[in-house]
Structures are given as C-alpha cells and as structure tokens.
Amino acid sequence: MRNGIVVAGALILDRHYAAPTYPEEGRLVGISGVHEDIGGAGNLIIDLAKLDTALTVRVSAVLGKGSSGKAVMKELCRYSNIETKGIVKYGHTPVTIVIDADDTHQRTFFYYPGAGDYYDEPYINWNVLQGGIFQLEYLLLMKGLDADDVEYGTHAARILSDAQKHGMKTSIDMVSKNGPRVQKIVHASLKYTDICTINELEAQEASGITLTDRGVLIEKNMRPALEKLAEYGVSTWVIIHASSCSFGLECRTGTCYKVPNIPLPDGYIKGKTGAGDAYCAGVLYAAYREMSIINAMKLGTACASCSLSEINGTDGMRSYTETCALYDRYKGGIEYEKI
C-alpha cells in the first residue's frame, strides 16, 4: 500500500468567544474569554497525525494568506508527519465564530466559507497527493465540491473518481444539512466511494430513511439505511455513528454490525467538539492498516472517547497504543453484535 492518507477539503479556523449568555437581538453582552483552534478537516488531520507519528498525512485545501491562514498553518506544522505541499494559498481562510453561552451551555455558530468554496479539481496536484486512502471533507459544505458536473453529477464525485484512478481508496464525510439537494449531492459521490462514515442525522437525510424519533435512535431502521447507502455504489464499508453506538455494513459480504460506545466514568467528558472527526480518524486508520470493519468501528469508538476528554477537537487524541488501552480499560461486556 502506498504510504500515507490524503485528507482534502475545508481547513477552518475556529474562533471561540465565551459569554455569560447569548444576547437578544440588538443587545450587548460582555466576552469573558477568546481562543482559537483549528477546525473542519484540521481536526481529522491532526487526529491521524497523533494516532500514528509514523503515518504521513497529506493535506489538500485552499487557505488564505492572511493571519487566519498563518494560524492554521502554524498548527499543522507542529506535526512532522503532516505534509502541506498540497495546500494552495488563495483568498481568505474559512472562519467559524463560535459563541459559547455559560448559562445554557449552547454554542452558536457563524460560518464564513471564504476560500473553502473555491476548492475544486484545479487546486489539486495529484503528483504530491499520493497515498493509500483519499478522504474528502465535507460534502454539503463547499460550493465548489457541490456544484453540478455534467458527467459525474457533482465536482466532488469527479474528484473522488480521479482519486480512484490514481490508485487510492476513497472515503467521504458530510455535514448535517437537510433540503432538496442533499440526496442528489451525496448520491453522486457514493458512486465513487469505498468508505462512507457519517452520523445518524446525516445518514437519515442521505438515505431518506427515518433513523431518529425525538432524539432516540430507531435501531430497526439502521440496516435498511446502511443497505440503501450501499446501493448507491459504496464498495467496502458504510458506517453510521451516534452518541450511544455505531452501525456498520461490510458491503462485500452484506453483514451488518452494531458496536456500543464504551461507558465512560462520571466527569470524564469535557467537550464534544470534534468527536465525530475523531471517530472517522479511527475508521480511516483501521482501513489503512487493513483491519476488519469490527475493529475499525471499535477503534473509531475509542478515538471518539479520547476526543471527549478535552474541550477542543484534537487535544484529547492519543497514540494508537494508548487509544486501544483506553478502550480495553472502559469497554463493556458486549463489544459487538450482528444485526
């Protein structure tokens, strides 16, 4: 297998503002703290880099030349195994402004897409993006990726097809959106996808099958949803992760599995930002190491559990050995079951 995993998509700078409450429109409220973190695909990139320091993680993105872009690059360059030759400098860096309200513990997001909307085939240099797996982040977030393509359906689908032609397995993630174009955009990409790892709300929109009822999982619908997504062309794994468990379909055998999340001790969870990205990192690393789907789902669960131990999206991630040890320490009696 060719060395490394390629992560392509939106690199975002997250600016967090802590406030006692979210004000009514037109009102003033004081800010008690400000901090910046890398966000978007950056969470997955750093998680992979920390999971295995011998793994080369190659990045493909469009990033601004200003202070926000420099802050993102500075964070990526902290890790010697992250390769940034595939980053093109253009326009303004995507930024998310996050308001953290102390009274309700709710977060409000204001997203500026910036150069992320321009990311498309012309910004990809396949000569520097060789690897075993090509991960595309995120469908439904960037206009360039979601734009119509006469031959492939969308530009994202064309990119995934080209990645396969360059000898890479392909993997996708998406953001939680609804609307009439969701299925068209996602289904176009699934034709050229080997691994699809998404959460239950995203799977519900993409499959058209109801998976939640007032926040409760409808487990009997999970297998039909996995199979429906596979019908659109996914070759290897379809995995749906949720806060209580995950469900996976091994497309080559038609076997479905359920893996429960591990019971964590009281006070362990400090933040949920980036837990989904951490889960995806575990699945990607397992696929790269040619593990089974069961072990991929268990590793994804362990990585997400690591992420929950810290406030931001990447500080909690640990090495592969430490992550496996955490899983073994807290795992329950049933590690998986067929569904």
pLDDT at 12 over 60: yes
d(Cα 166, Cα 241) in Å, to the nearest integer?
29
Largest CA distance in the chain: 58
The string of pLDDT tens digits covering residues 289-316 is 999 999 999 999 999 999 999 888 899 9
Please state, for a pLDDT cut of 90, what percent of the chain lies above it: 88
**What b/e sequence results for 280-305 when a residue is b if at least 16 CB atoms lie within 10 Å of its CB, and e otherwise?**
bbbbbbbbbeebebbbbbbbbbbbbb
d(Cα 315, Cα 45) in Å, to the nearest integer?
13
d(Cα 335, Cα 114) in Å, to the nearest integer?
43
**pLDDT the model gives residue 270:** 86
**pLDDT the model gives residue 312:** 84
**pLDDT the model gives residue 180:** 86
Q: Work out the average pLDDT over 245-261.
A: 97
Q: Give the chain's domains with CATH numbers.
A: 5-10+42-66+80-91+117-338 (3.40.1190.20)
Rounded to the nearest 10 degrees, the angle between the axes of helix 182-190 and helix 200-207 is 90
Where does residue 17 rank: exposed (0-12), middle (13-18), buried (19+ CB within 10 A)?
A: middle
Strands 212-213 and 216-217: antiparallel
**pLDDT the model gives residue 286:** 98
**pLDDT the model gives residue 105:** 78
pLDDT at 117 over 90: yes
The string of pLDDT tens digits covering residues 132-176 is 999 999 999 999 999 999 999 999 999 999 999 999 999 999 998
pLDDT band at residue 2 under the 50/70/90 scheme = low
pLDDT at 227 over 90: yes
pLDDT at 1 over 80: no
